[in-house]
Amino acid sequence: MAGLLHLTKLCSKNLPSPSCHASCYRLAKGSRHVQARVLYSSLASVDDNAKRKKITPFTPTPGSKLLGGVFGKKAKGGSSDGGSGLGKLDAPEVTSQDMMRAMMAYIWPKEDPLVRKRVGISLGLLAGSKLLTVCVPFLFKGAVDTMTTLNMDTAPDAVLSTATALLLGYGIARASAAGFNELRNAVFAKVAHHSIRKIASNVFLHLHNLDLAFHLNKQTGALSKTIDRGSRGINFVLSAMVFNIVPTIFELALVSSILGIKCGLAFAGVSMGCVGIYALYTLSVTQWRTRFRVYMNQAENEAGNKAVDSLINYETVKYFNNEKYEAGCYNEVLKKYETASLKTSSSLALLNFGQNAIFSSALSLIMVLAAKEIAQGNMTVGDLVMVNALLFQLSIPLGFLGSVYREVRQALLDMQSMFTLMNVDSRIQTAPNAQPLFIDNSNASIEFRNVNFEYEPGKPIFRDLSFTIPAGKNVAFVGGSGSGKSSMVRLLFRFFEPNSGKVLIGGQDISAVDLDSLRKTIAVVPQDSVLFHNTIEHNIHYGNLAKTHEEVQNAARMADLHDSIMSWPAKYNTQVGERGLKLSGGEKQRVAIARAILKNTPILIFDEATSSLDSITEHNILQALSRATSGRTSICIAHRLSTVKDADEILVLENGGVGERGTHSQLLKQNGLYARLWETQTQQFDPSRHTEDNQEARSSAQA
């Protein structure tokens, strides 16, 4: 359906001939496939990470390269973004040959004989359909010859029955060729879609395996576009090869051989020459006119964006009585589209006329040759009809040569962006021969030893930072914004690597242990919780998919969320909406806390975990947190000092290091930065500013 829409749009722009619909549809159908769409919704959560710069504990696993050995030997460095909007990727560029080899590995997989069998059958059906196609003119020739050479006066019945048989054969051959064709499409469809699914899921996993720095630097919109276009490109190239390019070359070879053998070398020479000139003309004109299509597409996008932006701002337009101005701006963009569209249409007319003129000239030349041969008695009228029909059939696929060439080139560019993305390596990986991190609640100490870290050169976040958190202690980190509180968590979770120094858990250097095992030992409640577009149950269960429904409910109870959930009509089956839109900030944060509780790890990190809660909920949550953290090593990052005053120890981050440390009362006595912050907050804190009206949030979302 989506393919059909794409086709309708494509063809309606230039009002092409009806035959265009069938062929274009074949190439376009299935191009916007499900996998890419599934990918988008999953990628939305990565987008949130990037935009909000928050920490989400996704767990990369090593390996799994889309093209494994195929792109294993890397090409020369440097890569363009191929118009994907991804910017320059830090990966070797992929060549067309690499891509062709990669696609071959998918459609002729050494390890999958069933796929190879399907490809073999498709090729057999292709050959069968083309052989039948070239039989059609022969049967037609036979019928014509029967009627022109046999004597209708002496044996009308014999003439009629022979001609009828030949003409029936003509119909059967045509229908069978079409049947073989469709059967080939059906058999090959599984191969194409299977390959696309494998590629799309490999790309998806690869994206999850890339490091946070990559995701923070890339827009998820551009990433998902690259994958969508890339997988559509694969579909297009495969379809074009199987349905258009290979069959046309095969048919051309057949027709030329038949003409050469049956009618003489001059006939074969004219037909081959005609196709050569036709192809040269088509490719050069297509290359020249592609720019008009690019302008047209740009103008179309611009017009769409302008219309959406203007209508979104409906109220503002009304406030300032600017309807006419808006319509004028829209009209300007439409004018650009109109100009580009006209150029596209007129250049298409020129292309079509030129192609037709070349073909018609060759056709009439061949007919003149045939007429001469008939006059000399070397050929029959049937032969002339046959030659005409053979060439005419060939002209149908050649009528789309330009479009196929243009789309294949674009598809190769799109594929290049996607395959280059697959060559990007994660900067954070498990070291070779790394051992799993073995810790439990009793030895989950955390140590930062002389850590230096900066995101950008010359802007240090940590300078020689050193501290130790003994196992089982609850330590709070406070400090002004930019003091590195969240960066400390990122280093601990190994989203980033320190420039120098070490981070140790249970005495083990985290850069030397298995990444998956490291992340399994830490649960994070991020500052800004983003939920999956699914039920509340699924969102809590996400913390540990192996747990039971009862355990999910217990975690919700501990996070002070269970009673709220039970008051909703669909209870645990309530859909939370896209990114948890239907939940208030406080509810989302409690989901994140429940998830972390369910993960049940020796180390717990709360990054401003109670920032969206009102003071009553915060009080309940703090009690829940103290239950959840008891006996575990926990880190609380807080802006509101009231939430951490009971911590075993408070570390004040300042100037890239630990400025002060001690308990709440010790720090107040020191009369330093902490005491000043405390004083400011206790004087200025206005709880009403933080109050959440959950009910209001939910009802407005429902409305």
Ligand X SMILES: N[C@@H](CCC(=O)N[C@@H](CS)C(=O)NCC(=O)O)C(=O)O
Which residues contact ligand X (rule: CB under 6 A)? 10-11, 14, 16, 20, 24, 282, 293, 344, 348, 351-352, 355, 399-403
CB nearer to ligand X: pick between 155 and 350 = 350
CA distance linking residue 141 with residue 330, whole number of Å: 59
Q: Find the shortest distance in angstroms from Cβ 280 to ligand X.
A: 13
Q: Which residue has the tokens 């969508």?
A: 228
Q: Find the shortest distance in angstroms from Cβ 251 to ligand X.
A: 16
CB nearer to ligand X: pick between 336 and 640 = 336
Q: Find the shortest distance in angstroms from Cβ 413 to ligand X.
A: 17
Q: Find the shortest distance in angstroms from Cβ 191 to ligand X.
A: 23
Q: Provide DSSP, 334-377.
A: HHHHHHHHHHHHHHHHHHHHHHHHHHHHHHHHHHHHHHHHHHTT
Q: Find the shortest distance in angstroms from Cβ 122 to ligand X.
A: 22
Q: Find the shortest distance in angstroms from Cβ 292 to ligand X.
A: 8
CA distance linking residue 543 with residue 537, whole number of Å: 11
**Which token pair is 259?**
């003409």
Q: Find the shortest distance in angstroms from Cβ 226 to ligand X.
A: 24
Q: Which residue has the tokens 């407005």?
A: 700
CB nearer to ligand X: pick between 10 and 391 = 10
Q: Are strands 657-662 and 649-654 parallel, antiparallel or unpaired?
A: antiparallel
CB nearer to ligand X: pick between 344 and 611 = 344
Task: Return phi, psi of residue 60, to 5°.
Answer: -65, 145
Q: Find the shortest distance in angstroms from Cβ 300 to ligand X.
A: 13
- Residue 437 is given by DSSP the state P
What is the SS3 assignment for 641?
A: helix
**Which token pair is 23?**
């062929």
Q: What is the CA radius of gyration of the chain?
A: 35
Q: Which long-range contacts (CB under 8 A, 24 or more apart) does 163-169 make?
A: 166/139, 166/140, 166/142, 167/139, 167/143, 169/139
Closest-CA residue to 41 (of 377, 688, 494, 532): 532
Q: Find the shortest distance in angstroms from Cβ 18 to ligand X.
A: 10
CA distance linking residue 60 with residue 57, whole number of Å: 9
Q: Are strands 500-505 and 603-607 parallel, antiparallel or unpaired?
A: unpaired
Closest-CA residue to 93 (of 424, 411, 408): 424
Q: Provide DSSP, 593-638.
A: HHHHHHH--SEEEEESTTTTS-HHHHHHHHHHHHHHHTTSEEEEE-
Q: Find the shortest distance in angstroms from Cβ 307 to ligand X.
A: 23
- Partners of 286 in the β-ladder: none
CB nearer to ligand X: pick between 10 and 609 = 10
Residue with the shortest CB distance to ligand X: 402
Closest-CA residue to 495 (of 216, 213, 217): 213
**Which token pair is 217?**
């630097």
Q: Find the shortest distance in angstroms from Cβ 249 to ligand X.
A: 16
Closest-CA residue to 698 (of 570, 607, 528): 570
CB nearer to ligand X: pick between 235 and 574 = 235
Q: Find the shortest distance in angstroms from Cβ 175 to ligand X.
A: 25
C-alpha separations of 71 from 61, 65, 76, 111, 410 in Å: 20, 9, 12, 18, 21
CB nearer to ligand X: pick between 229 and 293 = 293
Q: Find the shortest distance in angstroms from Cβ 489 to ligand X.
A: 53
CB nearer to ligand X: pick between 20 and 381 = 20
Q: Find the shortest distance in angstroms from Cβ 349 to ligand X.
A: 10
CA distance linking residue 251 with residue 240, whole number of Å: 15
- CB-CB contact of 303 with 333 (8 Å): yes
- Residue 95 is given by DSSP the state -
SS3 content of the chain, % helix, strand, coil (to 5): 65, 10, 25
- Partners of 468 in the β-ladder: 447
Closest-CA residue to 385 (of 167, 176, 179): 167
